[in-house]
Structure 1
């Protein structure tokens, strides 16, 4: 991936290296420089120059920054700063020194390994807690924001060398008020991880996110999507009408998790856990039944990605 040009953003963020890019935005590892040698690593997100004047793209970026700035939870990557310079809008976010869950699962698969069940349950429980918080956090008017992430997937869960679990990318998230205003609009999120109601374009709430988390948990436990089919359309159809392939079908020792996953993956939202708190408690209750992990999460991340992450961070000292 090409390195970022030497550049100072808003007089205080020194870009070090581009670490991700998508259709609308790019993210840089950056150093926030301050008085008396103060330095802080941040992830700086900005709109790609080619779409920086597109009204819808800019509004999408502004909505994400405004929504995420209100969320303060240990399992949600924080937004520290938001501003505008001559290149356009930017957001300075918490830098998570680690990979996405998708990258970690890929790396483990390359080694013919799977994530330890204890770690998978811990990670899913922490994401459920973050979803509970996002659903209940109060907005400026004092009312619950009722935020629905709408894109829970392995690509949007990060794990760090410190053992932290962070939910990222609220770019398609909506509050209850925004959801009400956009019913009937285009479907947002990754098709393979959508709940039946989201894939059908029906109204959704936090229970939709919990369905998606159930899909992710299955993949963390077995490396297999519970509705795996030949293409995305078939996956979406299976999620709506067919039973999931549970972990015990692949590994009988995981049967103790099946009942919780059946509840998370229920077709009818009324049959699922009704909020993140319920899911968190259920997953935590299963934790003592799981064999102890040979490595803590942070140690596993370091073993799999330590050299790459150290090389990336060392660039800020050059």
Structure 2
């Protein structure tokens, strides 16, 4: 769902329903995402991020994500535009976010040998937490709580608009307690290095699981490294490190932020921030106390500087 970083993969333009596929923006286990163009009812051209289900993925899995996106509307969540099917493949058309994803931004800063500014790191995580707070409290159209957990918060699923907005996307492995959505209990779905300890054990998840993932992202942004990454690629080794959740924080890190990280990344759910709102409150207090509160315009200019965006 981005066009700036990493560089899109050029594909031969081809028609897919009313959309013309231009470039492939990303690819995962469930779907491919393309930059696609179309024309609205007034004859005005527009572009979308078009997510196409892979042929070997059960249709109900893709339908769950589409149904869920149709229930959600929040400025910090990627918005659904249309759901449909063409040539036997279901698709989801989503708003196109030209500022790229957080993973691409981190790589761009690394290539430029520039650190991620602490105020921007806190701001990005605050915006993600605002989206998660809404997500966790979302209800069905009849008003019944869904009991949602995202389950896959990681830099590849955090996006930027050209105007400096921060949005969480990709709800493909989200779980709901009150309706049959998402992977079954006991299945550790999500990106390996961003699983919570309870997720690695296949336990029922609560919003605290997503809080842990945000803590990992915040650690990466502030310190430039993953807190539990190991050289070994064996998933069991990685999950053991996550379950232990042993932190080694430098003395140079702001003491308040260090305390926030320790609580967000507590391996025991009881000791962790229980909700996105609790962690957001701690980060907002730090921002206000230190005077580090970037505006959306600040974010827009910073993105333009790092990524070379125009406008």
Q: Does 1:10 align with 2:11?
A: no
* Coordinate RMSD, CA, aligned: 2.4
For residue 158 of structure 1, what is the aligned residue in structure 2? 159
Partner of 1:297: 299
- The one-character-per-residue Cα deviations of 1:194-223 (angstroms, maximum 9, x if unpaired) are 111001111111100000100000001111
Contact kept in structure 1, 2:287 and 2:293, CA below 8 Å: no
Q: Does 1:269 align with 2:269?
A: yes
**Which residue of the other structure, out of 30, 35, 41, is the alignment partner of 1:24?**
30
Q: 1:111 to 1:242 in 2, by over 3 A?
A: same
Per the alignment, residue 316 of structure 1 pairs with none
Q: 5 Å matches for 1:101-250?
A: 101-177=102-178, 178=180, 182-184=184-186, 186-231=187-232, 232-246=235-249, 249=250
Deviates more, 1:118-127 or 1:137-146: 137-146
Q: 1:132-185, CA deviations, whole angstroms, 9 ceiling, x for partnerless residues?
A: 11111111331111111111111111123311111111111111133798222x
Which residues of structure 2 form unaligned runs of 5+? 1-7
Aligned to 1:260: 260
- The structure 2 residue matched to 1:38, chosen from 44, 54, 78, is 44
Q: Take 2:144 and 2:228, find their aligned partners in 1: how far apart are those partners?
A: 37
Normalised by the length of structure 1, the TM-score is 0.86
**d(CA) in 1 for partners of 2:172, 2:183:** 17
CA deviation vs aligned residue, 1:91-147 (integer Å, no higher than 9, x gap): 110111122111111111122211111111111111111111111111133111111
Give me the whole-angstrom Cα distance separating, in 2, the residues matched to 1:144 and 1:252. Answer: 43
Cα 1:192–1:2 change in 2 (3 A) is: closer
Where does the alignment leave 5 or more consecutive residues of structure 1 unmatched? 311-318
CA–CA separation in structure 2 for the residues paired with 1:181 and 1:111: 39
Tell me by how many angstroms 1:57 deviates.
Answer: 2.9
Counterparts in 2 of 1:297 and 1:245: CA distance versus 1, 3 Å = farther
Shift of 1:290: 6.1
Contact in 2 for aligned 1:161/1:299 (Cα 8 Å)? no
Change beyond 3 A, Cα 1:292–1:77: closer
In 2, the alpha carbon distance for the partners of 1:180 and 1:173 equals 5
Q: Which deviates more from structure 2 when the two are superposed, residues 219-228 or residues 33-42? A: 33-42
